[in-house]
């Protein structure tokens, strides 16, 4: 059974689709920008809907799930640029979304974890304070030597 979230709606961020999950709350909530995994070549916001509902309902937080453009049709650095644009949009629209600008979180799994790390570095360089980054089994180096 899927977690209930008061309001779910799709938005367009500079030509990139995103889905916003807004739980019921009278107080400003953290804004959680989520970047899906999939090796930069697969994954859609629909496939991450169940986990984004969990993040929104159980945290609670406003979740912005980003449907960044995928390779090979869209080459580097398109996905990273999309992730950064979505994070800037989430910060700029935090109050309208019922979010707290001082609690912006960027997170992702696998390739999305890589993008979240890139966004955190760009945010630092641009002076956009992030409260937290969450990297779930991120792809962060090119060392393929592993015992596992």
Q: What is the pLDDT along the chain (148 residues), one digit of tens a residue?
A: 889 999 999 999 999 999 999 999 999 999 999 999 999 999 999 999 999 999 999 999 999 999 999 999 999 999 999 999 999 999 999 999 999 999 999 999 999 999 999 999 999 999 999 999 999 999 998 776 766 5
At residue 145, the pLDDT reads 72
What is the value of pTM for the model shown?
0.94
Contact 31, 89 (CB under 8 A): no
Contact 133, 123 (CB under 8 A): no
Q: What domains does the chain contain, in order, with CATH numbers?
A: 7-136 (3.40.50.1820)
Sheet strand arrangement including 132-136 = 7-13, 16-22, 62-66, 29-35, 99-109, 132-136
At residue 104, the pLDDT reads 99
């Amino acid at each position: 059974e899927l977690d209930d979230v008061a309001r779910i709606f799709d938005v367009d961020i500079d030509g990139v689709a995103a889905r916003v999950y807004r739980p019921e709350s009278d107080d400003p909530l953290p804004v959680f920008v989520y970047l899906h995994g999939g090796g930069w070549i697969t994954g859609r916001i629909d496939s991450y809907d169940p986990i984004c509902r969990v993040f929104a309902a159980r945290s609670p937080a406003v979740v912005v799930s980003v449907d960044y453009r995928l390779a090979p049709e869209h080459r580097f650095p398109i996905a990273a640029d999309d992730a950064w644009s979505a994070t800037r949009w989430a910060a700029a629209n935090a109050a309208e979304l019922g979010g707290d600008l001082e609690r912006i979180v960027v997170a992702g799994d696998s390739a999305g974890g890589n993008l979240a790390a890139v966004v955190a570095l760009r945010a630092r360089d641009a002076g956009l304070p992030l409260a937290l980054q969450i990297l779930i089994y991120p792809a962060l180096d090119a060392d393929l030597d592993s015992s596992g």
